[in-house]
Amino acid sequence: MATLPSPNHLSSSSPTAPATSPLSPPRNDPGLPFLSPTLPRRAVLFSSLVSVVPAIANSPPASAFSIGISGPKEWLKDQKKKSSKYLLAPIYASREILQSAYLILSKGSESSVADAEEIQQLFRSAARDCVAQDRSSFVTFQANTGVEVCTFKLIVKNAASLLDNKDPVKLEAEAMLNDLIRSFSSLNSLANGTDSQTISNSRQKIIDALMDTITSLDKFEKGVKDCLEA
Protein backbone atom coordinates (compact mmCIF):
# COMPACT_ATOMS: atom_id res chain seq x y z
CA MET A 1 0.00 0.00 0.00
CA ALA A 2 1.31 3.45 -0.87
CA THR A 3 2.42 5.71 2.06
CA LEU A 4 0.34 8.89 2.36
CA PRO A 5 2.25 12.15 3.05
CA SER A 6 2.38 13.34 6.65
CA PRO A 7 0.46 16.49 7.76
CA ASN A 8 3.79 18.21 8.52
CA HIS A 9 4.89 17.70 4.97
CA LEU A 10 1.67 19.14 3.56
CA SER A 11 1.80 22.18 5.83
CA SER A 12 5.42 22.98 4.98
CA SER A 13 4.65 24.12 1.47
CA SER A 14 5.39 27.78 0.76
CA PRO A 15 2.41 30.22 0.53
CA THR A 16 3.77 31.35 -2.81
CA ALA A 17 4.08 27.83 -4.23
CA PRO A 18 1.65 27.10 -7.06
CA ALA A 19 -1.45 25.30 -5.94
CA THR A 20 -1.76 21.72 -7.03
CA SER A 21 -4.98 20.10 -8.11
CA PRO A 22 -6.36 17.67 -5.54
CA LEU A 23 -6.61 15.16 -8.42
CA SER A 24 -2.97 15.52 -9.50
CA PRO A 25 -0.12 14.19 -7.35
CA PRO A 26 2.62 16.63 -6.30
CA ARG A 27 5.74 16.45 -8.41
CA ASN A 28 8.80 14.79 -6.88
CA ASP A 29 6.90 13.80 -3.76
CA PRO A 30 8.80 10.95 -2.09
CA GLY A 31 5.67 10.01 -0.19
CA LEU A 32 3.91 8.91 -3.44
CA PRO A 33 6.52 6.86 -5.27
CA PHE A 34 4.09 5.17 -7.76
CA LEU A 35 2.20 8.32 -8.77
CA SER A 36 4.51 9.43 -11.58
CA PRO A 37 3.53 12.14 -14.10
CA THR A 38 2.79 9.40 -16.67
CA LEU A 39 0.18 7.65 -14.51
CA PRO A 40 -2.91 9.51 -15.73
CA ARG A 41 -2.24 8.58 -19.36
CA ARG A 42 -1.57 4.93 -18.50
CA ALA A 43 -4.56 4.80 -16.21
CA VAL A 44 -6.84 6.20 -18.91
CA LEU A 45 -5.47 3.72 -21.46
CA PHE A 46 -5.92 0.81 -19.06
CA SER A 47 -9.44 1.85 -18.12
CA SER A 48 -10.30 2.12 -21.83
CA LEU A 49 -9.08 -1.40 -22.47
CA VAL A 50 -11.02 -2.69 -19.48
CA SER A 51 -14.20 -1.13 -20.82
CA VAL A 52 -13.68 -2.44 -24.38
CA VAL A 53 -12.82 -6.07 -23.59
CA PRO A 54 -16.17 -6.93 -21.95
CA ALA A 55 -17.99 -5.39 -24.90
CA ILE A 56 -16.08 -7.61 -27.33
CA ALA A 57 -16.44 -10.69 -25.16
CA ASN A 58 -20.19 -10.18 -24.74
CA SER A 59 -20.90 -9.49 -28.43
CA PRO A 60 -22.87 -12.31 -30.10
CA PRO A 61 -20.50 -14.36 -32.34
CA ALA A 62 -23.34 -15.51 -34.58
CA SER A 63 -23.81 -12.05 -36.10
CA ALA A 64 -20.23 -11.85 -37.38
CA PHE A 65 -20.28 -15.51 -38.39
CA SER A 66 -23.45 -15.22 -40.41
CA ILE A 67 -21.93 -12.41 -42.46
CA GLY A 68 -18.86 -14.52 -43.16
CA ILE A 69 -20.74 -17.67 -44.23
CA SER A 70 -23.92 -16.62 -46.00
CA GLY A 71 -22.11 -14.30 -48.38
CA PRO A 72 -19.69 -16.83 -49.90
CA LYS A 73 -22.39 -19.51 -49.98
CA GLU A 74 -24.74 -17.29 -51.97
CA TRP A 75 -21.87 -16.28 -54.23
CA LEU A 76 -20.96 -19.91 -54.90
CA LYS A 77 -24.60 -20.72 -55.59
CA ASP A 78 -24.77 -17.89 -58.10
CA GLN A 79 -21.54 -19.03 -59.75
CA LYS A 80 -22.90 -22.56 -60.13
CA LYS A 81 -25.97 -21.21 -61.88
CA LYS A 82 -23.83 -19.14 -64.26
CA SER A 83 -21.66 -22.15 -65.12
CA SER A 84 -24.57 -24.58 -65.40
CA LYS A 85 -24.22 -24.90 -69.17
CA TYR A 86 -20.75 -26.39 -68.69
CA LEU A 87 -21.98 -28.70 -65.95
CA LEU A 88 -24.88 -29.90 -68.10
CA ALA A 89 -22.81 -30.20 -71.29
CA PRO A 90 -22.07 -33.97 -70.85
CA ILE A 91 -25.80 -34.62 -70.50
CA TYR A 92 -26.54 -32.76 -73.73
CA ALA A 93 -23.73 -34.62 -75.48
CA SER A 94 -25.01 -38.02 -74.31
CA ARG A 95 -28.48 -37.18 -75.55
CA GLU A 96 -27.13 -36.30 -78.99
CA ILE A 97 -25.17 -39.56 -79.09
CA LEU A 98 -28.28 -41.58 -78.26
CA GLN A 99 -30.20 -39.76 -80.96
CA SER A 100 -27.48 -40.64 -83.47
CA ALA A 101 -27.76 -44.30 -82.44
CA TYR A 102 -31.51 -44.11 -82.92
CA LEU A 103 -31.05 -42.89 -86.50
CA ILE A 104 -28.80 -45.88 -87.24
CA LEU A 105 -31.31 -48.31 -85.75
CA SER A 106 -34.08 -46.69 -87.78
CA LYS A 107 -32.45 -47.77 -91.05
CA GLY A 108 -34.05 -51.21 -90.70
CA SER A 109 -32.71 -53.96 -92.93
CA GLU A 110 -29.87 -51.71 -94.08
CA SER A 111 -28.04 -52.26 -90.80
CA SER A 112 -24.65 -53.93 -91.14
CA VAL A 113 -21.84 -55.26 -88.98
CA ALA A 114 -20.29 -51.81 -89.01
CA ASP A 115 -23.58 -50.34 -87.80
CA ALA A 116 -23.78 -52.84 -84.94
CA GLU A 117 -20.25 -52.01 -83.85
CA GLU A 118 -20.93 -48.29 -84.12
CA ILE A 119 -24.08 -48.60 -82.02
CA GLN A 120 -22.15 -50.41 -79.30
CA GLN A 121 -19.49 -47.71 -79.34
CA LEU A 122 -22.09 -44.94 -79.21
CA PHE A 123 -23.82 -46.47 -76.22
CA ARG A 124 -20.52 -46.84 -74.34
CA SER A 125 -19.67 -43.23 -75.10
CA ALA A 126 -23.09 -41.95 -74.01
CA ALA A 127 -22.85 -43.84 -70.69
CA ARG A 128 -19.85 -41.72 -69.65
CA ASP A 129 -18.00 -44.55 -67.88
CA CYS A 130 -20.96 -45.17 -65.57
CA VAL A 131 -21.42 -48.80 -66.66
CA ALA A 132 -18.65 -50.78 -64.98
CA GLN A 133 -18.46 -53.64 -67.49
CA ASP A 134 -18.01 -51.24 -70.39
CA ARG A 135 -15.06 -49.30 -68.95
CA SER A 136 -11.61 -49.47 -70.45
CA SER A 137 -8.82 -51.07 -68.46
CA PHE A 138 -7.36 -47.69 -67.56
CA VAL A 139 -10.70 -46.31 -66.36
CA THR A 140 -11.28 -49.50 -64.39
CA PHE A 141 -7.88 -49.06 -62.75
CA GLN A 142 -8.79 -45.49 -61.79
CA ALA A 143 -12.08 -46.65 -60.30
CA ASN A 144 -10.34 -49.39 -58.32
CA THR A 145 -7.93 -46.84 -56.83
CA GLY A 146 -10.79 -44.75 -55.49
CA VAL A 147 -11.10 -42.20 -58.30
CA GLU A 148 -14.68 -41.39 -59.29
CA VAL A 149 -14.91 -42.02 -63.04
CA CYS A 150 -18.68 -41.85 -63.64
CA THR A 151 -19.30 -38.44 -65.18
CA PHE A 152 -22.95 -38.37 -64.15
CA LYS A 153 -22.02 -39.00 -60.50
CA LEU A 154 -19.53 -36.14 -60.65
CA ILE A 155 -22.22 -33.87 -62.08
CA VAL A 156 -24.57 -34.58 -59.17
CA LYS A 157 -21.76 -34.18 -56.66
CA ASN A 158 -20.89 -30.78 -58.08
CA ALA A 159 -24.46 -29.53 -58.50
CA ALA A 160 -25.50 -30.58 -54.98
CA SER A 161 -22.29 -29.61 -53.18
CA LEU A 162 -24.04 -26.80 -51.27
CA LEU A 163 -26.97 -28.98 -50.17
CA ASP A 164 -27.21 -31.13 -47.04
CA ASN A 165 -26.87 -34.88 -47.49
CA LYS A 166 -30.52 -35.38 -46.49
CA ASP A 167 -31.86 -32.55 -48.62
CA PRO A 168 -34.85 -33.96 -50.58
CA VAL A 169 -33.71 -32.23 -53.77
CA LYS A 170 -30.30 -33.90 -53.56
CA LEU A 171 -31.83 -37.28 -52.68
CA GLU A 172 -34.16 -37.03 -55.67
CA ALA A 173 -31.27 -36.24 -58.01
CA GLU A 174 -29.31 -39.23 -56.68
CA ALA A 175 -32.34 -41.48 -57.24
CA MET A 176 -32.57 -40.26 -60.83
CA LEU A 177 -28.86 -40.91 -61.23
CA ASN A 178 -29.25 -44.53 -60.13
CA ASP A 179 -32.17 -44.98 -62.52
CA LEU A 180 -30.10 -43.53 -65.37
CA ILE A 181 -27.19 -45.89 -64.70
CA ARG A 182 -29.56 -48.87 -64.65
CA SER A 183 -31.02 -47.74 -67.99
CA PHE A 184 -27.59 -47.51 -69.58
CA SER A 185 -26.60 -50.90 -68.17
CA SER A 186 -29.70 -52.53 -69.68
CA LEU A 187 -29.20 -50.74 -73.00
CA ASN A 188 -25.54 -51.68 -73.30
CA SER A 189 -26.25 -55.31 -72.39
CA LEU A 190 -28.70 -55.57 -75.28
CA ALA A 191 -26.31 -53.91 -77.72
CA ASN A 192 -23.29 -55.98 -76.70
CA GLY A 193 -25.12 -59.17 -77.58
CA THR A 194 -26.15 -57.96 -81.01
CA ASP A 195 -24.45 -58.64 -84.32
CA SER A 196 -25.48 -58.00 -87.92
CA GLN A 197 -27.39 -61.28 -88.12
CA THR A 198 -29.52 -60.77 -85.06
CA ILE A 199 -29.84 -56.99 -85.05
CA SER A 200 -33.10 -57.11 -86.98
CA ASN A 201 -34.64 -59.37 -84.30
CA SER A 202 -33.34 -57.25 -81.38
CA ARG A 203 -33.76 -53.85 -83.00
CA GLN A 204 -37.12 -53.02 -81.44
CA LYS A 205 -35.95 -54.10 -77.98
CA ILE A 206 -32.90 -51.91 -78.36
CA ILE A 207 -35.00 -48.99 -79.58
CA ASP A 208 -37.35 -49.37 -76.61
CA ALA A 209 -34.42 -49.48 -74.20
CA LEU A 210 -32.88 -46.50 -75.98
CA MET A 211 -36.05 -44.42 -75.57
CA ASP A 212 -36.25 -45.39 -71.89
CA THR A 213 -32.66 -44.25 -71.44
CA ILE A 214 -33.37 -40.90 -73.08
CA THR A 215 -36.35 -40.45 -70.75
CA SER A 216 -34.13 -41.26 -67.75
CA LEU A 217 -31.57 -38.79 -69.05
CA ASP A 218 -34.22 -36.05 -69.30
CA LYS A 219 -35.31 -36.70 -65.70
CA PHE A 220 -31.70 -36.69 -64.55
CA GLU A 221 -31.13 -33.33 -66.23
CA LYS A 222 -34.12 -31.89 -64.37
CA GLY A 223 -32.81 -33.27 -61.07
CA VAL A 224 -29.45 -31.59 -61.63
CA LYS A 225 -31.11 -28.27 -62.49
CA ASP A 226 -33.21 -28.50 -59.34
CA CYS A 227 -30.02 -28.91 -57.31
CA LEU A 228 -28.56 -25.80 -58.91
CA GLU A 229 -31.68 -23.77 -58.15
CA ALA A 230 -32.16 -25.06 -54.57
Write down the pTM of the prediction: 0.66
Question: Helix, strand, or coil here: 194?
Answer: coil
3-state secondary structure 67-134: HHHHHHHHHHHHHHHHCHHHHHHHHHHHHHHHHHHHHHHCCHHHCCHHHHHHHHHHHHHHCCCCCHHH
Are 113 and 196 contacting, i.e. CB atoms less than 8 angstroms apart?
A: yes
- CA atoms of 62 and 75, how far apart (whole Å): 20
Question: Which of 1, 24, 27 is CA-nearest to residue 13?
Answer: 27
Provide the residue-wise pLDDT of the chain in tens; the chain has 230 residues: 455 554 444 444 444 444 544 444 445 444 444 444 444 544 444 444 444 444 434 444 443 333 444 567 777 777 777 778 899 999 999 999 999 999 988 876 665 677 888 999 999 999 999 999 899 999 999 999 999 999 999 999 999 999 999 999 999 999 999 999 999 999 998 888 666 565 667 888 999 999 999 999 999 999 999 999 86
Which backbone phi and psi does 21 adopt, to 5 degrees? -70, 140
